[in-house]
Amino acid sequence: MNNTATASKSAAAIDRALAEGRTALVGYLPAGYPDVQTTIDAAVALAENGTDVIEIGIPYSDPVMDGSVIQAATVQALKDGFRVSQVFDIVAGITARCDAAVLVMTYWNPVMRMGVDEFSRRLAEAGGAGLITPDLIPDEAAEWFEASDKYGLDRVFLVAPSSSPARMAMTVKASRGFVYAVSIMGVTGARENVSSAAERVVQAAHEAGAERVCVGLGVSNAEHVREIGAYAEGAIVGTALVAELGHSGVEALGKLAARLSEGTARA
């Protein structure tokens, strides 16, 4: 991973956790759910309870990688009038109050619509660490390479159990900050068990040269986090947090993060 030239905020956050003997905890929240201020408060609550990297998802009309819980939250945010540019207010609001690395997770069309350069500039100005791009593969990312280099942003691409060795190598090389290992063939959603495919994907990413690999999809409790910590640098939790925030609010969310972080101690 070519993260030597540019200081990567998410790599730094993960390294900090590892240096403290912890697996990095990465938490996802949809922007504007239930509203902009609550998203900021919720993210800060995550950071104060052991979350190292925050992902803020931009609600999008056609979220093909998301399961029903995250879909319901983002549909609600859009119904309530969420606008894409508010994501920069959210990122700025979070980075002003804590030092977790804040990435934006987004389907690509909203970025293209704003202009890749403009979007990147505003994200960098807001203190954002970079982008996670579920439907952008490196093959199509020429503009994003240019803008992310220009503004010093992390490029977090996804690798999957189906990735061929050649694609794994190419994607690891294209990534900066960390590589997002999709644990199963499927969409977001809490699951009983973390798939055994996850370990193989992480191993392949490491062999391709990835220094930091975080595992997402289906991760929902401290036991999952502990399991993942045995072979990966970070664990990504999404649906479980979104459901908790929706049902029980910010305080309960903080408590869930604290419980999840109990799984981060590395053997």
Q: Rule CB under 8 A: which residues touch another protein?
A: 60-65, 67-68, 71, 75, 78, 83-84, 108-114, 134-137, 139-140, 157-164, 167, 171, 182, 185-187
Q: How far is the CB of 82 from another protein (least distance, A)?
A: 9
Structure token digits, residue 150: 């220009």
Out of 41, 52, 66, 244, the active site residue is 66
Is 55 an active-site residue? yes
Q: b/e string for 126-160 if b means 16 or more Cβ within 10 A?
A: bbbbbbbbbebbbeebeebeebbeebbbbbbbbbb
Q: How far is the CB of 109 from another protein (least distance, A)?
A: 4
Is 20 an active-site residue? no
Query: Which residues have CB under 8 Å from 101's CB, separation 6+?
Result: 9, 10, 12, 13, 52, 53, 54, 129, 177
Residue 21 CB-density burial (10 A; 0-12 exposed, 13-18 middle, 19+ buried): exposed
Q: How far is the CB of 251 from another protein (least distance, A)?
A: 30
18 or 197, CB closer to another protein? 197
60 or 151, CB closer to another protein? 60
Out of 20, 48, 52, 55, the active site residue is 55
Q: How far is the CB of 12 from another protein (least distance, A)?
A: 25
110 or 249, CB closer to another protein? 110
Other beta carbons within 10 angstroms of residue 52's beta carbon come to 28
Structure token digits, residue 4: 């030597």
105 or 222, CB closer to another protein? 105
Structure token digits, residue 177: 């900050």
Would you give the distance in Å from CA 58 to the centre of its chain? 12
Which residues carry out catalysis? 55, 66
